[in-house]
Chain A
Amino acid sequence: MNKKKLIISTIYLVSVFLFLRTDLSFLKFLNSDPSTILFFSLLPLMIWLPVNSNRAIIGAIFFMILTAIFNLSKFEKTSENLVIQSFFFFAYAVFISIKELIKEK
C-alpha cells in the first residue's frame, strides 16, 4: 500500500468518526443502525483505495467466520453487527465484479 494513501485514509477515518459522534441526522435514511452507518462511512474510502472484489470477498468471509464464533458463544448483538458487515462486503464485491464484467464487454 502506498504511504500517501495510508496517511490520507487515516485522516479521512478520524474525520468520519468524529463526524459520526456529533450528529446522525445526515445519515438517518439508513435507519440509524450503527453497523450499517459504519460501513457506509467507510464506503468512499473503499471506492478510492480501491478494494478489489476478491479482497472484499475475503473480508466478507472473515466477518462470516467471526459471526460464527460469536454466535456460538452467544454474543447476539455482536454477531448481528458482524453479519451486517459481511453482507455489505459481499454485496460490494458482487457490484464491483458486475462493474468489471461490463467494462470487459
Chain B
Amino acid sequence: MKFIQEIFKIVIFIISILFSGYFILGTIYSTIFIELQFKEQIVSSMTNYELMLMLFGILGVLGILGFKKIIKPILSKGEIIIYLFSSYFLSYFIIKNFQFSGRLFIILILSISAILFFLLLRITDFFYNFSVLYLKELILKEKIKLSQSISKFVSYFINIFVKLPKMVIEIIQGSKKIIFDKESIIKILSYSLRLIISMTFSLVIVLSVIFLTIGLTGLIIFKIDQYFDYQNQLRKSFVITKINPKNSTYAQEVVLQGYNFGWRLNNRSLLMTKDGAINDIKLWTDNEIRFIVPLHLREGKSFVWLEKPENDNNYSIVLKSNQVFLNIISRWEFYPSQLNYDSSLYPIQNENLLKRIKRFLFFKLKVGDWLSY
C-alpha cells in the first residue's frame, strides 16, 4: 500500500511539474511570439472549463497527498501577498467558469480564496518537503545486497581466472581430468542469479515510475487531442451542443448553444418541435438562440431541433440539426394553483412555500438541472 502510494506521489509530482511548466511557457510564448505559433498548441487551445477541471484534479490530489498538520506557517509579508494574489486569481477563475449569479459573487470569491489560501500552503509544503522514504529504504537495502553479491561474484570470477592458466596447461598436456569443479560453477550460477534478482527489484521500481508517467501523460495528451478533433468537427457542422436549462416550464427563457445556426434571413429557418414551430424567439445569432417556451408544447419530454435552408434560394434543400431534449414541467409545480389561493392559510401554506423555494432554485439560482430527477 505504501509502495503504491509513494509511486503515485512521484507520478503526480512529475505530472504537475510538467503541466505547470508547459502551461507557463506556452502562455508566455503565445503572447509574445504571436507570429511563430505552432499549429495546434494543446494548452492554449484548451477551453477554460477543461483547464479548470484539470486544475481541480491536480489541486485536489495534491491537497490530499500533501495533507499534514502545519503547526505554524512562517510567512514573510511578501509571501502572504503573493499567496493572496494567487488564491484570489484562482478563485476568480473557478467562479467565472461556473457562472454563478451576481449576488453570490463576492461571498463565493472570499470563501473559495480563503480555502485555496490554505490549500496552496499545503501544496508548497508538499513540494518543499517532497520525500519518498519507504522507496528510498527499499532501494538502499537492495543496494547493500547488490554490493555484497557483486563483490562475492567478482571474487569467484577472479578465482577462476587464477585457475585458468593451470587448466590451459592441463588441456595442452592432454589430461582427461574434469577441469572445473562442480561446486565453483554452482556457486557462480547462484551468485549471478542473486545479482539479477536484486537488480530487477530496483529496476522494476524505476521502470514502473517511468512507464506510469509516460503512459499517463501520453494518455492524457492523446485523449485531449482526440477531444479537440471532435470539437473541431463539431464547429464545422450545423449542430446544437447545449440546451440550458434542460428542465423548464412555460413562458420561461431557454438558451440553445451550438455552431453554424446562420442568420435568420427568412421564415424558412425554424426552431421546430414535434408540436410545431416555436415563434417567440428573442435572439438568433450564429451560435446562440434564446426563445420563450410556448404554451402549445406538451408537458414532459419533447425534442427540439433547427431547420434552415441551404442558401437564400426558395427551392434550396432544408437542413436539419440534431435533436435535443427539453423537459417541460407543469407550471403548477412552481406557481400556486386555485386550490392554494382558496385555502385560508394561503401565503404560509406548506405547499406554497415549497413552490416558492422551487421557483428560487429554478429561476433565480438556475440550478434546476442539477436538482431535477
By a beta-carbon cutoff of 8 Å, the part of chain A in contact with chain B is 3-4, 7-23, 34-35, 38, 44-45, 47-48, 75-78, 81-82, 85
Contact = CB atoms under 8 A, between A and B. Distances in A.
A92 to B, nearest CB: 17
A3 B128 CA distance: 7
Interface string B20-32: 1101100110011
Contacts of B92: 19, 22-23
Chain A facing B: main interface SS:
helix
B253 to A, nearest CB: 24
A22 B93 contact: yes
Contacts of B90: 15, 18-19
Interface of B: 20-21, 23-24, 27-28, 31-36, 48, 51, 55, 78-79, 81-83, 85-87, 89-90, 92-93, 96-97, 120, 123-124, 127-128
B89 A18 contact: yes
A81 B34 contact: yes
Given A10-B20, A78-B35, A85-B32, A23 B120 contact: no
A44 B80 CA distance: 12
Q: What is the interface of chain B mostly: helix, strand, loop, or mixed?
A: helix
Given A8-B82, A11-B124, A18-B93, 10 more contacts: A12-B86, A13-B20, A13-B24, A15-B93, A18-B89, A21-B93, A22-B97, A23-B92, A75-B35, A76-B35
A44 B32 CA distance: 19
A78 to B, nearest CB: 5
Nearest to A63: B32
A88 to B, nearest CB: 12
Given A11-B86, A12-B86, A35 B96 contact: no
A16 B89 contact: yes
Contacts of B89: 15-16, 18-19
A38 B31 contact: yes
B96 A4 contact: no
A47 B82 CA distance: 10
B82 A18 contact: no
Nearest to B97: A22
A9 B78 CA distance: 12
A75 B36 contact: yes
A45 to B, nearest CB: 7
A38 B28 CA distance: 8
Contacts of A77: 34-35
Contacts of A7: 124, 127-128
Top 4 nearest A-B pairs (CB, nearest first) are: A19-B89, A15-B86, A15-B89, A48-B78
A44 B89 CA distance: 13
B36 A78 contact: yes
Nearest to A38: B31
